[in-house]
Chain A
Amino acid sequence: DPKIIQKPKYLVAVTGSEKILICEQYLGHNAMYWYRQSAKKPLEFMFSYSYQKLMDNQTASSRFQPQSSKKNHLDLQITALKPDDSATYFCASSHRRGADEQYFGPGTRLTVL
Chain B
Amino acid sequence: GDQVEQSPSALSLHEGTGSALRCNFTTTMRAVQWFQQNSRGSLINLFYLASGTKENGRLKSTFNSKESYSTLHIRDAQLEDSGTYFCAAEAVGSNAKLTFGKGTKLSVKS
Q: Quick one: CB contact mask for B25-54 with A, threshold 8 Å, 1 for yes?
A: 000001101010000111101001010000
B-to-A contact residues, CB < 8 Å: 30-31, 33, 35, 40-43, 45, 48, 50, 86, 88, 90, 95-103
Question: Are B90 and A99 neighbours in the complex by a CB distance under 8 Å?
Answer: yes
- Cα separation A99 to B96 with both chains bound (whole Å): 7
Question: Are B96 and A104 neighbours in the complex by a CB distance under 8 Å?
Answer: no
Q: Do most interface residues of chain B lie in helix, strand or loop, or is the interface mixed? A: strand
Interface size on A, residues (CB 8 A): 25
Contact of A104 among B30, B35, B102 (CB under 8 A): B35
User: Of A17-25, A41-49, A71-79, which stretch is located at the interface?
Assistant: A41-49
Residues of chain B within 8 A (CB-CB) of A80 are: none
Which chain A residue lies CB-closest to B42?
A106
- Cα separation A106 to B37 with both chains bound (whole Å): 10
User: Which among A43, A44, A103, A107 has the greatest number of chain B C-beta atoms within 10 A?
Assistant: A43
